[in-house]
Amino acid sequence: MGQELKKAIDQISKDKGLDRAMLVETLEEAVRTSVQRKYGENIDVEVSFNEETGEIDVFQYKIVVAKVEDESAQVSLEEARKYDPSVQADDEVGFRLKVEDLGRIAAQSAKQVIIQRMRDAEQGIIYDEYKDRINEIVSGIVQRRDKAGWIINLGRTEALLPKEEQIPREHYKRGDRVQALICEVRKEGRGPQIIVSRSHRDYMAALFKREVPEVDDGIVQIMGVARDPGSRAKVAVLSRDRDVDPVGACVGVRGSRIQNIVQELRSERIDIVVWSQDIAAYARNALSPAVITRIVVDEAEGLLEVVVPDDQLTNAIGRKGQNVKLAAKLLGWKIDIYTETRYNEANAIGQGLEQLAGVVEVPAENFVAAGLTSFDAVSGASDEELLAVAGMTKVKIDNLRAAVNFLRPSLETVEN
């Protein structure tokens, strides 16, 4: 029996990767619990696993007294001297208990405690292993579907691929092999909950790290990723070595490297753009393939006003606004796109109105509040309409008319 127990401990330790000393301690604790359940919570017992015999030794300790009042904790001098003739009053004496005497129920409970402890220890090991693997790609087999998403079998444990972490229009069936990124590991009562994602931007960064050696060794850095999962993405890259072209490294010979990533992401179209510290240069790259005429940077508002040739508007905005939306996400700035015609008109009209307001020393907002929102509206207004503008007087109207005649030729030149 003893050697079998020893073998079982060695086998479990090896198969489950559990610490042997912890298993022995768990076994001893389980037997102690069962003994106390059978003989009383207050008895003083010591349980130890005997490595030589492979048996579990259980000793109950009692105090030697002249008159026994509590049999669970005391033993008479006469009785104690049968075991050890030199024993004295107030000594503590240990008596061996036979584990077999615990009975079937006690043995069963010991087994259950051992199984539970083993399970807890195994879950602890799995948690420690996976919490250090966040942002790592794992591969598993689709097991089943539940209300939260797909359950993926990773081998030693399971992971959840939630609905919101899946690529839209991606379908699975039981038994399919799937790859995903570990994005979260939660410690829960029934064991660690590993959350994986296929739509996360870090999944794309991890795929580049796997497919592109220059990214893996830090020569090429991924500076940002913006994704519309399953449809389109933009990846900003920077080279730490002037001899290495970051875009070329990521694309690979004849597109071999990027093609592997595109296939894994169900043909998600990927634009690789060069990162720049200069926000205007970075924006030009990010809005590719659109041609940009000029960019006005408003740092206070975190806004970029991007001007494009009239025939480039569709390119810049992209299908369903995707190109500009992804560029804005990548840059972390708001982006307004104007055609050259519209931008010039808006600026000419805006400038003209500001100049007129300056001549008569009335805020431009007062004209806008009165419904006169452009240079042409002000120049075509009647005296009554102009007097309705807060701060306007008859003298100021005369000055305004003179300013209109003076400014109109220069504004017409700008428009043309």
Residue 109 pLDDT: 58
Contact criterion met (CB below 8 Å) for 381 and 372: yes
- Pull the structure tokens for residue 143: 């097991």
Q: 348 pLDDT exceeds 60?
A: no
More confident residue, 161 or 125: 161
pLDDT digits (tens, 9 = 90+) for 289-340: 899 988 989 888 899 989 899 899 999 999 889 999 999 999 999 999 988 8
Residue 416 pLDDT: 44
Tell me the CATH number of domain 133-199, given options 1.10.3720.10, 3.40.50.11900, 3.30.470.30, 2.40.50.140. Answer: 2.40.50.140
**pLDDT band at 239; cut points 50, 70, 90:** very high
Question: Which residues make up the CATH 3.30.300.20 domain(s) of the chain?
Answer: 294-416
> Which CATH number describes the domain made up of 2-128?
3.30.1480.10
- Considering the chain, what percentage of its residues have pLDDT values greater than 70? 90
Residue 213 pLDDT: 95
Q: What is the mean pLDDT of residues 348-355?
A: 68
Question: Which residues make up the CATH 2.40.50.140 domain(s) of the chain?
Answer: 133-199
Q: What is the mean pLDDT of residues 86-102?
A: 76
Question: Which residues make up the CATH 3.30.1480.10 domain(s) of the chain?
Answer: 2-128
pLDDT digits (tens, 9 = 90+) for 28-85: 787 788 777 777 777 888 888 888 877 778 888 888 888 878 777 888 887 888 887 8
Nearest CA among 54, 45, 151 for reference residue 92: 45
Residues forming a β-bridge with 236 = 224, 273
Q: Which of 76-80, 208-212, 317-321, 389-393 shows the lowest per-residue confidence on average (mean pLDDT)?
A: 76-80
- Pull the structure tokens for residue 76: 């008479």
Residue 227 pLDDT: 95
Three-class SS of the chain = CHHHHHHHHHHHHHHHCCCHHHHHHHHHHHHHHHHHHHHCCCCEEEEEECCCCCCEEEEEEEEEECCCCCCCCEEEHHHHHHHCCCCCCCCEEEEEECHHHHHHHHHHHHHHHHHHHHHHHHHHHHHHHHHCCCCCEEEEEEEEEECCEEEEECCCCEEEEEHHHCCCCCCCCCCCEEEEEEEEEECCCCCCEEEEECCCHHHHHHHHHHHCHHHHCCCEEEEEEEEECCCEEEEEEEECCCCCCHHHHHHCHHHHHHHHHHHHCCCCEEEEEECCCCHHHHHHHHCCCCCCCEEEEECCCCEEEEEECHHHHHHHHCHHHHHHHHHHHHHCCEEEEEEHHHHHHHHHHHHHHHHHHHHHCCCHHHHHHCCCCCHHHHHCCCHHHHHCCCCCCHHHHHHHHHHHHHHHHHHHHHHC
- The fold of 294-416 is GMP Synthetase; Chain A, domain 3 (3.30.300)
